[in-house]
Amino acid sequence: MNAAHDKLWGGRFAEPTDAFVEAFTASVAFDQRLYRHDIAGSKAHAQMLAKVGVLSEAECQAIVQGLDAILAEIEQGQFTWSIAREDVHMNIEARLIERIGEVGKKLHTGRSRNDQVATDIRLYVREAIDLIRAQLQRLQQGLLDLAEREADTIMPGFTHLQTAQPVTFGHHLLAWFEMLKRDDARLADCRRRVNILPLGSAALAGTSYPLDRAYVAQLLGFEGISDNSLDAVSDRDFAIEFCAAGALIMTHLSRFSEELILWTSAQFGFIELPDRFCTGSSIMPQKKNPDVPELVRGKTGRVNGNLVALLTLMKAQPLAYNKDNQEDKEPLFDTIDTLLGCLRAFADMMPHLQVRREVMYEAARRGFATATDLADYLVRKGLAFRDAHEVVGRAVQHGVHSGRDLADMSLEELRGFCERIEADVFEVLTLEGSVAARKLHGGTAPAQVRQRIQAARQA
């Protein structure tokens, strides 16, 4: 027999594929991770073919049992993956034919690898979204627990990385929580567009077989079926959208990482990470390096690169399917793996964060963090805000030259800048008074932080 005929598609070819080309074009080295989803899709397809009378019940049963046996082989490490069989689909189908004979050749009736792989990827991404959201929500829970514990802990809030106003550490943690809440909502929204069945689109034009696509969608848990066969087999916007959501998650984690790295430094000393999340230096015995957040920060560039790779992959493809789309899987898989790893690391680490409350408090006392409070105080005393701003600016300048914070100045010194200042000014110049006053919805006051935590837990 002609060697080209060893391929399940080889009937049209007069010579076998060049050995280098065979290896160059094969995807089984990386797409074999789709095996569970490929088998699930094939079982549903077979059951549907039996329902519409294309397969007999006995043929369907033989195919389903054969696929279950192959699944067991793969999971027990007894399955031999072959580059000659190109991809996960052909490896499984060829093995099915080996196991059950001619009946196995009927499985591919009414479908193409084009709609088959599109289905597999959607199943895979759908599952990945659920796993990622679970890790994301575990991290959110850890943030809420830590924020509740630190609702009264005062730290400096920063703009431009300069001391701005005092905030509570619980409030700062809730800012991270809000970012992740939006990330979770994006994934949930993305999942709805992922969860559309392309199977039944065949190669590009649909099929003449009387397939029941809605039945396959029901079996596989899809919320709907694709409306255009050309689009269904060729676009990967759902994967790009997922990677965009993933890039935003990593960008948020990178921002968290940056703060953790700064805060663990001797120059800040706000927190300490558990030893098991850090490493040392081979030459400097005193070092305790925050490797986990540093690595998460670094991996963000990797995920951003995956997004750009997929956008570039898709940008110039004519309809319908092109071999280019084989290149969609490695960036997608890498994004999923990276997200799961980074979220797990952060979720594991968050409950064990050691907070140095006294260091945070002392840092908040430096840098004139209550200057805005003094300006607001003067406004309440009848001064226009711009005039109050000028008064406080001069007071701060005096403090810089004398090396003292506003709260350390005497009443007489402060009245030298504005006669409207009275003894009650010291109530607003304390850090506790400053944060407690900001009790508007979304503010940093401990009471407001606790309200937001309760609302988040209920949500």
pLDDT attached to residue 1:
43
- Highest CATH level, class, for 367-458: mainly alpha
**pLDDT at position 355 over 60:** yes
pLDDT single digits (tens) 192-250: 999 999 999 999 999 999 999 999 999 999 999 999 999 999 999 999 999 999 999 99
Distance of alpha carbon 251 from alpha carbon 257, whole angstroms: 10
pLDDT on residue 432: 93
What pLDDT is recorded for position 25? 85
Alpha helices in 209-290 (DSSP H): 213-220, 229-234, 237-264
Given a contact cutoff of 8 angstroms between Cβ atoms, the answer to whether 135 and 344 are in contact is: yes
pLDDT at position 137, please?
A: 97
Question: Cβ contacts of residue 140 below 8 Å, gap of 6+?
Answer: 177, 180, 181, 184, 456
Tell which residue, 72, 74, 18, 67, has the closest CA to residue 44. 67
Of residues 98, 86, 94, 101, the one with CA closest to residue 42? 94
- Asked whether 173 and 143 are in contact (CB, 8 A), the reply is yes
First to last CA, the chain: 65
Is the dihedral angle over the CA atoms 109, 114, 117, 123 positive or is it negative? Answer: negative
What average pLDDT does the segment 415-438 reach?
90
Q: Is the pLDDT of residue 369 over 90?
A: no
Which of 329, 278, 275, 274 has its CA nearest to residue 306?
329
pLDDT of residue 123: 98
**pLDDT bucket at 5, cuts 50 / 70 / 90:** low
3-109 CATH choice from 1.10.645.10, 1.10.287.610, 3.40.50.1000, 1.10.275.10: 1.10.275.10
**Per-residue b or e along 268-296, where b marks 16 or more CB atoms closer than 10 Å to that residue's CB:** bebbbbeeebbeeeeeeeeeeebebbbeb
The number of helix segments (H) and strand segments (E) in the chain equals 19, 6
Q: Judge whether residue 293 has pLDDT over 50.
A: yes
State the pLDDT confidence band at 10, using cuts at 50, 70 and 90: low
Model confidence pLDDT, tens digit, residues 334-348: 999 999 999 999 999
Residue closest to 95 by CA, chosen among 122, 124, 121, 72 = 72
Distance in angstroms (rounded) separating the CA atoms of residues 295 and 299 = 6
Amino acid at 189: D
Q: Rounded mean pLDDT of 444-456? A: 97
Taking phi over 0 as left and psi of -120 to 50 as alpha, with beta for the rest, 278 belongs to beta
Q: What tokens were used for 111?
A: 């479908």
Please, what is the average pLDDT of the chain?
Answer: 94
Q: Determine the Cα–Cα distance for residues 117 and 199; give it in Å rounded to an integer.
A: 9
pLDDT digits (tens, 9 = 90+) for 87-128: 999 999 999 999 999 999 999 999 999 999 999 999 999 999
Model confidence band, residue 4 (pLDDT cutoffs 50, 70, 90)? low
Catalytic site residues? 160, 281
Domain assignments of the chain as residue spans, ordered by start: 3-109, 114-361, 367-458
Mean pLDDT of 440-450: 96
Query: Mean pLDDT throughout 255-276?
Result: 95
Residue for token digits 């580059």?
83
Residue 445 CA to residue 400 CA, distance in Å, equals 28
Interatomic CA distance for residues 247 and 303, integer angstroms: 6
pLDDT, mean of residues 73-83 = 97
Whole-number Å distance between alpha carbons of 383 and 154: 29
Q: What is the pTM of this model?
A: 0.92
pLDDT at 12: 66
CATH class of 114-361: mainly alpha
pLDDT surpasses 60 at 47: yes
Angstrom distances, CA of residue 236 to CA of 10, 85, 239, 307: 28, 24, 5, 12
By the 8 A CB rule, do 358 and 278 touch? no
